[in-house]
Chains A and B, each alone.
Chain A
Amino acid sequence: MFRLEARPQSSNFWVIVTPLLAVIATMIAGGFLFATLGKDPLISMRMIFWDPLFGDFAFYYRGQLLTKAGPLILIAIGLSIGFKAGIWNIGAEGQYMIGAVCGAGIGLAMYPVEAWYVFPLMVIAGGLGGWAWAMIPAVLRNRFGTNEILVSLMLVYVAQHVLSSASLGLLKNPEGMGFPGSRNLSQYPSAANLELIPGTGMHWGVVAAFFAVIAAYVLMQKHLIGFNIRLTGQSPRAATFAGVIPKRVVAFCLGTSGALAGLAGLFEVAGPAGQVSIDFASGYGFTAIIVAFLGRLNPFGILLAGLLLALTYVGGSLAQQDGLPAAAIQAFQGMLLFFLLAFDVLSNYRLKRVKRAPIQKGAA
């Protein structure tokens, strides 16, 4: 019989070890899952985790890795800042879409002007679009006390309709022969977000993601704003005692995460995706939640977690060619978060063996 005993302070050892344990446990459970689908678990695992990095076509898939990791990391960094403060933006998917629509909108409005300022303007518009979309739950929470979780999530569905109406109407390619979707931005040189070093998958979005990792580290560890954010998450009353104004924290956290998600959307629409289309959104905004938790809300952890989840995307599509359903990867990612949360108990509590004495009946 075991019993949980609160640790006087959370264990640094377990904080680092639990994500690794969670990955291993997910691989085992995922193996069983794949086996029930009639796939050899070892082959599937190799296909997902090994082949994209070291397999025969790794030169191609390695590039994909950064392309997928870029938006995941960029969004997750923003989310982690809010999560630290206990502010739950789970509508990054919507901010991502709106960022893409706004940024692409500016680019398409300027078409076919070729100038150095086109892309920077698109970046600004993308960031502002995501920021504005995220400020809706922020303002409603500050003004009326509405729950930001529900509002930000509802706005994902609204954004999805904005996106589809844009790709069917306002931003539709006039030369597209009636097909839905905008012009292809990757064929508009001033607006295209192309690979910076061919074959690496490195585009401006990935650069922005790396930059965000470092900036988030400095903000959270070295700056008063980050300290106030952490304090708010730890203990809201202690934060007001320290002079923090909670509403500003809400606005900052939601705004920042929205802006980063908007940027991710813009870099995606101007690069890998190329155009605004109905099926542009691919779930990065939700997967980024897993990335943020798996990375322990720590910027460098998020960097690694983003790469790992990107690997499951890339490897997953590889395994899909072998007949593994796409949904299996989605379930796999969900499982990862479950296991992480389950193992997390070890960082804050100690498992203790309890002797069965006659007077002890049931667990404490």
Chain B
Amino acid sequence: MDFSAINPVTLIASLIVASTPILLAALGELVVEKAGVLNLGVEGMMITGAIFGFAISVTVANPSLAPGLQPWLDPWMSPWMAPWLGMIGAAIGGAFMAFLFGLLTQYFLSNQVATGLALTLFGLGLSALLGQGYVGLKPPSFPKLDIPALTEIPYIGPMLLNHDYMVYVSLLLVLAVWYFLKFTRGGLVLRAVGENHDAAHAIGYNVTRIRLMAILFGGACAGLGGAYLSLVRVPQWTEGMTAGAGWIALALVVFASWKPWRLILGAYLFGGVTILQLNFQAVGVTIPAAYLSMAPYVVTILVLVIMSGDRSSAPASLGRVFHASH
């Protein structure tokens, strides 16, 4: 075995790519949980986003796949627009799934745990169905930040400044969510709803509507995370390709103690474990591949064990059903 084959620069660069999907999904879930809702359907929303994003991007890039759409697709614009349209479509797809969850839990007052599970099971089935015709296709490549002056900075350039745009979008989103939750009135209201929905209702906030907005945002983020998997990280479509990423995103929120900045740390930690085990497999470490492949899941469990002692930062109304009876 030869550890020198592992290049730290490419390692960090690929770590960032590996962690972006769960970072996006976890960011959405964080907002949802801050509003007091536990949506366990992240996996289902992610995989829906993955297939929506993939299908849209592939179709836009290869208009021949959908002759009916050809008149609307500008041949010059398509290659440039395809990945972005895919991302937007994925966000809408994720939000659509989240809307089903919101409808059931907020208006039909169903159990959030059960509904989240249903969302995951349904999403896995639906995406497999929608993805029938897309197995084996290659998506258009995603645009990258490529400014020679930056990219050529030794180490830092290739590690941090030469990624696809979605990496930076995800970091900006973290910044935006942090600012929103901490400094805006809307963020304060959202936290208040998650803290004590009865009190929020009593002073006149529409708990159901605020929560539904948060749920939709969470779905859109999960959709983006899924599409990042199918369009950038892998990049192709296979059934069940999220392989638990949505569940890891849920664990990440606990790890981050519901603080946006710590999500980045957590996501990069998980990304690191994933990339390292792949590298170990590649250089032929004597540990059997099966055990290495388990690593991300085992690490998730370990992290949960370490972080679960302190529940004090969890939103107090998390997972409770709200019904304004009087």
Indicate, yes or no, whether A interacts with B: yes
A binding-site residues for B, Cβ under 8 Å: 4-6, 33, 37, 88, 90, 140, 144-147, 149-151, 153-158, 161-162, 164-165, 168-169, 286, 289-290, 293, 325-335, 337-338, 341-342, 344-345, 348-349, 364
Interface centre among A88, A164, A341 (most CB of B within 10 A): A341
B residues 123-151 with Cβ under 8 Å of A? 123-126, 128-129, 131-132
B290: contacting residue among A164, A329, A335, CB under 8 A:
A164
Known contacts A154-B300, A337-B118; 6 further A-B pairs (Cβ under 8 A): A6-B323, A147-B304, A150-B300, A330-B128, A338-B104, A344-B110
Nearest-neighbour CB distance to chain B for A348, whole angstroms, equals 7
User: Are A153 and B291 within 8 A (Cβ)?
Assistant: no
Given contacts A158-B298, A334-B121, contact A344 B108 (CB under 8 A): yes
With A150-B300, A342-B110, A345-B108 in contact, is A140–B305 under 8 Å at CB? Answer: yes
Q: State which of A146, A156, A332 has its C-beta within 8 Å of the C-beta of B308.
A: A146
A348–B294 CB distance below 8 A: no
The interface residues of chain B lying within 8 Å CB-to-CB of A330 are: 121, 124-125, 128-129
Q: Is B178 an interface residue (CB 8 A)?
A: no
Q: Which 5 interchain pairs have the tightest Cβ spacing? A: A334-B122, A330-B125, A327-B128, A331-B125, A165-B290
**Interface flag for B313 (CB, 8 Å):** no
**Bound-state Cα–Cα, A225 to B293, Å:** 40
B87 at the interface (CB under 8 A from A): no
B131 surroundings in chain A (CB, below 8 A): 327
B325 (CB) vs chain A CBs: closest residue: A6
Q: Which residue of B lies closest to A141 (CB)?
A: B308
Contact between B110 and A145, CB atoms less than 8 A apart: no
Asked whether B100 is an interface residue with its Cβ less than 8 Å from the other chain, the reply is yes
In the bound complex, do residue B250 and residue A337 qualify as a contact, i.e. CB atoms below 8 Å apart?
no
Contact A349 B109 (CB under 8 A): yes
Q: Which B residues are CB-close (under 8 A) to A151? A: 301, 304
Contact A161 B128 (CB under 8 A): no
Do residues A157 and B243 form an inter-chain contact, with CB atoms below 8 A?
Answer: yes
Nearest-Cβ distance from residue A234 to partner chain B, whole angstroms: 13
User: With a CB–CB cut-off of 8 A, which chain B residues contact A290?
Assistant: 118, 121
User: Distance in Å from the Cβ of B239 to the closest Cβ of chain A?
Assistant: 7
Give complex CA distance A309, B245 in Å: 27
Mask: chain B, 291-318; 1 = CB below 8 Å from A; 0 = not: 1011001101100110011010000000
B303 to chain A, nearest CB (A): 10
**Is B254 on the interface with A (CB-CB < 8 A)?**
yes
Chain A residue nearest in CB terms to B290: A165
B95-121 CB contact bits vs A (8 Å, 1 = yes)?
000001001100011110111011101
B109 touches A345 (CB 8 A): yes
Interface residues of B (CB under 8 A from A): 40, 100, 103-104, 108-111, 113-115, 117-119, 121-126, 128-129, 131-132, 239, 243-244, 247-248, 250-251, 254, 288, 290-291, 293-294, 297-298, 300-301, 304-305, 308-309, 311, 323-325
Structural contact, A338 and B297, CB atoms closer than 8 A: no
Given contacts A90-B117, A155-B297, A330-B124, contact A341 B108 (CB under 8 A): yes
Interface of B is mostly: helix
Please name all residues of chain A whose beta carbon is closer than 8 Å to the beta carbon of B132 when the two chains form the complex.
325, 327
Query: For residue A153, which residues in chain B have a CB less than 8 angstroms away from its CB?
Result: 244, 247
User: Which one of B118, B300, B308 has the greatest number of beta carbons of chain A within 10 Å?
Assistant: B118
Q: How far is the CA of A51 from the CA of B309 in the complex (A)?
A: 54
Could you say which of A4, A147, A331 contacts B254, with CB atoms under 8 Å apart?
Answer: A147
Query: In the assembly, what is the distance between CA of A348 and CA of B323, in Å?
Result: 12
- Shortest CB distance B56–A (Å): 18
Set of chain B residues within 8 Å of A158, measured between Cβ atoms: 294, 297-298
Q: Which residues does chain B contribute within 8 Å of A333, judged by CB atoms?
A: 121, 125
CB <8 Å contact, A140 and B288: no
A157 near B244 with CB under 8 A, answer yes
Given contacts A6-B325, A140-B301, A158-B298, contact A345 B110 (CB under 8 A): yes
Q: A342-B110, A345-B108, A364-B324 are in contact. Are A157 and B297 (CB under 8 A)?
A: yes
Q: How far is the CA of A156 from the CA of B104 in the complex (A)?
A: 27
Q: Which of B104, B298, B308 contacts A145 (CB 8 A)?
A: B308
**B45 vs chain A, min Cβ distance (A):** 13
What is the bound-complex CA distance between A338 and B243, given in angstroms?
22
Most B CB within 10 A of own CB, among A165, A332, A338: A338
Residue of A nearest to B132 (CB): A325
A132 to B278, CA, bound (A): 29
**Closest A residue to B121 using CB positions:** A334
- Tell me which residues across on chain A come within 8 A of B294, comparing CB atoms: 157-158, 161-162
Quick one: which of A4, A145, A289, A325 contacts B121, CB cutoff 8 A?
Answer: A289
Q: Are A327 and B300 in contact (CB under 8 A)?
A: no
User: Which residues of A have CB within 8 Å of B309?
Assistant: 144-145
CB closest chain-A residue, reference B111: A341
29 inter-chain pairs at a CB distance below 8 angstroms, sorted by A residue, are: A5-B325, A6-B325, A33-B129, A140-B301, A140-B304, A144-B308, A146-B301, A147-B308, A154-B251, A155-B301, A158-B294, A158-B298, A164-B290, A165-B290, A286-B121, A289-B121, A328-B125, A330-B129, A331-B129, A332-B125, A334-B118, A334-B125, A334-B126, A337-B118, A337-B122, A338-B119, A341-B114, A342-B104, A349-B323
Task: Give Cα A90 to B128, complex, Å.
Answer: 21
A150-B250, A333-B125 given as contacts; is B118 within 8 A of A341 (CB)? yes
Give bound CA distance, A4 to B321, whole Å.
Answer: 14
Given A147-B308, A150-B300, are A4 and B290 neighbors across the interface (CB < 8 Å)? no
Does the CB pair A327–B125 fall under 8 Å?
Answer: yes
> Which residue of B103, B119, B247 contacts A154 across the interface (Cβ within 8 Å)?
B247
Cα separation A364 to B207 with both chains bound (whole Å): 11
Cα-based distance from A145 to B40 in the complex (angstroms): 18
A145 and B311 contact, CB distance less than 8 A = yes
- Chain A residues whose C-beta falls within 8 Å of the C-beta of B290 in the assembled complex: 161-162, 164-165, 168
Question: How far, in whole Å, are A165 and B298 apart by their CA atoms in the complex?
Answer: 16
C-alpha gap A325/B103 in the complex (Å): 28
Decide: B122 and A331 in contact? CB cutoff 8 A.
yes
